Amino acid sequence: MSSAHHPRFRAFTPRDLDGLLRRVPLTDDQRLALRAVSSVLPFRTNAYVVDELIDWSAVPEDPVFRLTFPQAGMLPPPDVRRMADLLAGDAPRAEIQRAAHEIRMRLNPHPSGQLDANVPVHEGQRLTGLQHKYPETVLVFPRQGQTCHAYCTYCFRWPQFVGEADLRIATDDIAATGSYLRAHPEVASILVTGGDPLVMSTEVLRRYVEPLLRIDTVRSIRIGTKSLAFWPYRFTTDRDADDLLRLFEEVVASGRHLALMAHFTHPQELRPPVVREAMRRVRDSGAVIRCQGPLVAGINDSADAWAELWEETTTLGAVPYYQFVERDTGPQGYFGVPLARGHAIFRDAYARVSGLARTVRGPVMSAMPGKVCVDGVAEVAGEKVFALHLIQARDPDLVGRPFFAAYDEGATWFTDLKPAFGASRFLPGLEAG
C-alpha cells in the first residue's frame, strides 16, 4: 500500500476489532456477534477513519461507524449464532473458514453475473481482469488495486476482500489490455477500478494508466476511488502524492478527460479540512471529481444527508454523478432500501439543491440489462406504476426509452419488478428479470 509509510497510517483488521469496540458500551455477547460477522464479511479500517471521521459520542448510530464496523443484522441470526459459537469455543481455524465459506456462498457473491457475463474474450483468451458490458466503456481491475483503505460494510465487491480466490476479478496483463483496446476502437472510456486503485503506489498505477495514453481511441480515463473519504492524505502528504497529481496532469495534457469517480457516502466524510485540501489539489491537476455512492439503510437514508452531500460536493467543485441502489448481494437485506422509499428520498433531496447539483442521476440499479433509473411513481390509466428508463444498456437501442413496472412498495431490485398493464415484457428486447 502506498500509504503504509505515512506517519498517521495505521490499519485495523479483524484482530483489532475487539479492542476498538471497547470504546463503545457493548455487552460481551454483542461484541462477540460483531466478531462473528467480521469472520464472514470483510472488516478493515484505519486511524484516519477512526480518529477523524467517526463521532464516537454518537456510536453506534454514527453513520461512519456503521459504514465501516460490522453490525449483527448484516447476517441472518442463525449464521451469526453459528459463527459466534465457533469463535467462543475456540474452534480450529479450518472449521471457522469452512463455515464462513458456506455462509458466503449463500450471499449471492456475484450478482448480475459479475464473474462471467461481462468478461471479454480476446484471441481465444478470457481477460478476467476486464469487464466490457457497455460498448463504449471498459472496466479494468488492476491486480494490486483490489483492496481499500477501509472497507464499507455494504460493499457489493466484498468477495474481492475475503481471500476466496475463485471469487476475485483482477488483471496484471497490461499488454493484453492494450491489445484488446486496439482491437475495439469503440471503447472510448476506461474505468480503472477495484477495490480502490489508489491503494496502489503511483509507480504501479502509472504502469496501468500510461499505456492507455498511447491508444488514440481512448478519450477518457476514470479512476474509481474512495480515497478522498477514507485516506485523503493520498493526495496531500503521502510520499508519492505529488507524483500522483503529476500523473493526473499527464493524462489531462494528453487531451483526455480524467475523472476521479469519488465514492462518498455521507456529508460527515467532507468535514475534515484535509479532504477539502485534497479535492483542491485534484482539481488543480485538471482532473474532474465526480461523486457517487449508494443509498443505504441506517447510514444515509434521509433526504437531509443527500441534499447536504450533493450541495457540499458541488460547492467544493465536484460534480454529483450517480446515486446507486444497494445491490442484491451480501448484506443487502440489512442495508437495502425499497425502490419506492429510495426514490422518495432522492426526489426530496433533488428538489432542494441548486441546478448545479442536479447533475446527479438516480436511484440507479446496475442490473443485468444495464443501469436502470427509477424516474418516479405515477398513476397511468388507473394503475399505480414505477416509471423507469435505462441510462446504460448492453443493447444501446434500449437506452433512454421510458418503461413501466407495476408499483410494489417492497421491491428492492430490478428482478422484483413486473411489467405494468399486464404486459409480458417491459420493452421489446427488455424482459422482466
Ligand X SMILES: *Cc1c(COP(=O)(O)O)cnc(C)c1O
Q: Does the footprint of ligand X cover residue 48 (CB under 6 A)?
A: no
Q: Which of 294, 371, 405, 419 binds ligand X (CB under 6 A)?
A: 371
Burial classification of residue 19, based on how many CB atoms lie within 10 Å of its CB (0-12 exposed, 13-18 middle, 19 or more buried): exposed
Q: Does the footprint of ligand X cover residue 134 (CB under 6 A)?
A: yes
**Smallest distance from the beta carbon of 433 to ligand X, in angstroms?**
16
**Smallest distance from the beta carbon of 195 to ligand SF4, in angstroms?**
5
Q: Does the footprint of ligand SF4 cover residue 140 (CB under 6 A)?
A: no
Site track 331-350 with ligand X (rule: CB under 6 A), x = hit: --------------------
Burial classification of residue 428, based on how many CB atoms lie within 10 Å of its CB (0-12 exposed, 13-18 middle, 19 or more buried): exposed
**Smallest distance from the beta carbon of 141 to ligand SF4, in angstroms?**
10
Q: Does the footprint of ligand SF4 cover residue 264 (CB under 6 A)?
A: no
Instruction: Name the pairing type of β-strands 121-122 and 125-126.
Output: antiparallel
Query: Distance (Å, rounded) from C-alpha 122 to C-alpha 116?
Result: 14
**Total residues at interface with ligand SF4 (CB under 6 A):** 10
**Smallest distance from the beta carbon of 222 to ligand X, in angstroms?**
8
Q: Does the footprint of ligand SF4 cover residue 63 (CB under 6 A)?
A: no
**CA angle (63 as vertex; 61, 64 as ends), nearest 5:** 120
Q: Does the footprint of ligand SF4 cover residue 66 (CB under 6 A)?
A: no
CB-wise, 268 or 323, nearer to ligand X? 323
Query: Distance (Å, rounded) from C-alpha 142 to C-alpha 130?
Result: 9
Q: Does the footprint of ligand SF4 cover residue 70 (CB under 6 A)?
A: no
CB-wise, 268 or 427, nearer to ligand SF4? 268
Q: Does the footprint of ligand X cover residue 131 (CB under 6 A)?
A: yes
Residue indicated by cell numbers 455512492: 293
Q: Which of 316, 391, 406, 423 binds ligand X (CB under 6 A)?
A: 391
Q: Which does 148 bind (CB under 5 to 8 A by kind): ligand X, ligand SF4, none?
A: ligand SF4
Name the one range near ligand SF4 by CB under 6 A: 70-78, 146-154, 281-289, 349-357: 146-154
Site track 75-114 with ligand X (rule: CB under 6 A), x = hit: ----------------------------------------
Tell me the C-alpha to C-alpha distance, in Å, between residue 326 and each of 189, 335, 375, 423: 24, 7, 17, 27
Name the one range near ligand SF4 by CB under 6 A: 69-77, 103-111, 147-155, 210-218: 147-155
Query: Distance (Å, rounded) from C-alpha 420 to C-alpha 288?
Result: 40
Q: Which three cell numbers stand for residue 285?
A: 491537476
Query: Distance (Å, rounded) from C-alpha 267 to C-alpha 88?
Result: 38
Residue indicated by cell numbers 458456506: 102
Residues whose CB falls within 8 Å of the CB of residue 28, separated by 6 or more in sequence, listed in order: none
Site track 277-316 with ligand X (rule: CB under 6 A), x = hit: ----------------------------------------
Site for ligand X in 173-192 (CB under 6 A): 191
Q: Which of 160, 313, 366, 412 binds ligand X (CB under 6 A)?
A: 366
Residue of 159, 158, 147, 258 whose CA lies nearest to 193: 147
Q: Does the footprint of ligand X cover residue 133 (CB under 6 A)?
A: yes
- What are the counts of helices (DSSP H) followed by strands (DSSP E) for the chain? 14, 15
Instruction: Name the pairing type of β-strands 125-126 and 319-325.
Output: unpaired
Name the one range near ligand SF4 by CB under 6 A: 54-62, 152-160, 177-185, 248-256: 152-160
Name the one range near ligand SF4 by CB under 6 A: 192-200, 202-210, 311-319, 337-345: 192-200
Residue indicated by cell numbers 476506461: 190
Site for ligand X in 263-282 (CB under 6 A): none
Helix, strand, coil abundance in the chain, percent, nearest 5: 40, 20, 40
Q: Does the footprint of ligand SF4 cover residue 427 (CB under 6 A)?
A: no
Element containing residue 334 per DSSP (H, E): helix 332-335
**CA angle (102 as vertex; 96, 105 as ends), nearest 5:** 140
Residue of 282, 201, 270, 291 whose CA lies nearest to 236: 282
CB-wise, 179 or 189, nearer to ligand X? 189
Applying CB under 6 A, which residues contact ligand X?
118, 131, 133-134, 137, 139, 191, 366, 371, 391-392
Applying CB under 6 A, which residues contact ligand SF4?
148, 151-152, 155, 157, 194-196, 226, 263
